């Protein structure tokens, strides 16, 4: 009986190695299918351990992707990359990037300032620089053709309005145009702890939150001005819009 059990074990072993049909080819096919992501009863995935998507591979091999891309690029090839429109667009992108970079720099300087009464004149210069850069960023964002930039700038100005009460305590008012205005006399008389709470390095400070958005605005400006998502095949810029599968397919077909 023990011998029969051993024989059955060997039989099962070779059966598992040769596959359900009992042939080596069947085992190889099953193994390769599992390795490269072939469909089976335990998974609906079309890609396996190597991350190969065979539906996409089939489209590439058949030339479907090439035809779609060729159609898309040919529709943009006639646009002059040196046209005045492109130059104006690039100038807007550059101005937005420069403004947000200046704002980030002035905020970093301000956040590490001395907030004591004795250093109030030096702090005043840093705050004046911040306000100039903030207002310039608001202006440049308003001129932007990018909806992403506009949304980030809107978040920044809305957040500033939420801080308007505490800002007024240190002599800074928020205008109807979303720009800041400084009352020098009130600022010089402001409480040092309040100033540090507004402009200090705390994660919850007003300055830190504005800095976060300024850095995002800079990143968006540089990306939108130079990335593949903004360029056509002729080196010209596409209009900014939400990147969705439907939009991409509609534009390619």
Q: Is the pLDDT of residue 121 over 70?
A: yes
Q: Cα separation of 210 and 240, whole Å?
A: 24
Please report the DSSP string for 25-72 in residue order: HHHHHHHHHHHTT--BTTB--S--TT---HHHHHHHHHTHHHHHHHHH
Per-residue buried b or exposed e for 8-35, using 16+ beta carbons within 10 Å of the residue's own CB: eeeeeeeeeebbeeeeeeebeebeeeee
Which whole number is the average pLDDT over 226-250?
Answer: 40
Q: Which tens digits make up the pLDDT trace of 42-52?
A: 444 445 445 55
CATH classification for the domain delimited by 84-226, as one of 3.40.50, 1.10.8, 1.20.120, 1.25.40: 1.20.120
Q: Which tens digits make up the pLDDT trace of 185-230?
A: 999 999 999 999 999 999 999 999 999 999 999 998 887 655 434 4
To the nearest whole number, what is the mean pLDDT of the chain?
74
Q: Which pLDDT band, with edges at 50, 70 and 90, does 86 fall under? A: confident
Q: Is the pLDDT of residue 85 over 50?
A: yes
């Amino acid at each position: 009986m023990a011998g029969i059990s051993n024989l059955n074990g060997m039989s099962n072993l070779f059966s598992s190695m040769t596959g359900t049909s009992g042939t080596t080819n069947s085992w190889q096919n099953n193994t390769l299918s599992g390795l490269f992501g072939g469909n089976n009863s335990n998974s609906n995935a079309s890609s396996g351990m190597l991350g190969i998507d065979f539906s996409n591979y089939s489209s590439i091999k058949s030339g479907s992707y090439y035809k779609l891309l060729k159609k898309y690029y040919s529709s943009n090839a006639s646009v002059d990359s040196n046209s005045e429109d492109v130059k104006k667009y690039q100038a807007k992108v550059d101005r937005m990037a420069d403004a947000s970079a200046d704002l980030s720099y002035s905020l970093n300087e301000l956040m590490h300032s001395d907030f004591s009464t004795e250093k109030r004149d030096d702090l005043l210069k840093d705050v004046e620089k911040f306000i100039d850069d903030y207002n310039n960023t608001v202006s440049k964002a308003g001129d932007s053709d990018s909806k992403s930039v506009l949304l980030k700038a809107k978040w920044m100005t809305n957040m500033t309005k939420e801080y308007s009460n505490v800002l007024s305590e240190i002599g800074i008012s928020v205008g109807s145009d979303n720009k800041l205005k400084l009352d020098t006399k009130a600022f010089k008389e402001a409480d040092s702890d309040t100033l540090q709470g507004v402009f200090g390095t705390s994660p919850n400070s007003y300055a830190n939150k504005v800095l976060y958005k300024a850095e995002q605005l800079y990143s968006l400006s540089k990306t939108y001005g130079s990335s593949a998502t903004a360029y056509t095949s002729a080196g010209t810029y596409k209009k900014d819009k939400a990147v969705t599968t439907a939009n991409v397919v509609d534009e390619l077909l």
